[in-house]
Amino acid sequence: MSVLLKMKPHRNDGCGWSTALAVIGGKWKTDILWELHLGRRRFGELKRLLPGISERILALQLREMEADGLIRREVFAEVPPRVEYSVTEFGLTLNDAVTAMSHWGKAYEARQAVTPSAA
């Protein structure tokens, strides 16, 4: 059973841009979302798959993403307890947006490689 957390308030900019960036912002959230998109993961698996992330930051990012409805935390009644994280259907709706941003980022990198002063 997952504990429902209150979604944190995000600044309303009228078009949703600031809200979207606040929800997926942070160094690790898109990486975490990608790993969970590939399949259910336990905390230790995520830690191994994301070299450089601290346990504290991983736990914080997972809590925020759960509160925002992007991921699901499922606790199994076993000894020792097993916890698995997975992406929600709502979290999957970010795929198109993140893919578009990724394409833009790659195009920007290519442009910078050709004309560094064209930024």
Cα angle value 8/6/69 (rounded, 5°): 80
pLDDT mean over 27-39: 93
Pick the CATH number of 17-118 from 1.10.3720.10, 2.170.140.10, 2.120.10.30, 1.10.10.10: 1.10.10.10
Per-position b or e across 30-45, b if 16+ CB within 10 A of its CB: ebbbebbeeeebeeee
SS3 content of the chain, % helix, strand, coil (to 5): 55, 10, 35
Distance of CA 104 to the CA centre of its chain: 19
Give every CB contact of residue 4 below 8 A, 6+ residues apart in sequence.
none
| Residue 13: per-residue pLDDT | 65
Gap between the Cα atoms of 44 and 92, Å rounded: 22
| Residue 3: per-residue pLDDT | 42
pLDDT (tens digit per residue) in 60-108: 999 999 999 999 999 999 998 899 999 999 999 988 888 888 899 999 9
DSSP 8-state secondary structure symbol assigned to residue 87 = E
Identify the residue with better confidence: 14 or 58.
58
Which pTM value belongs to this model? Answer: 0.77
Q: Looking at the predicted structure, is the pLDDT value of residue 44 above 60? A: yes
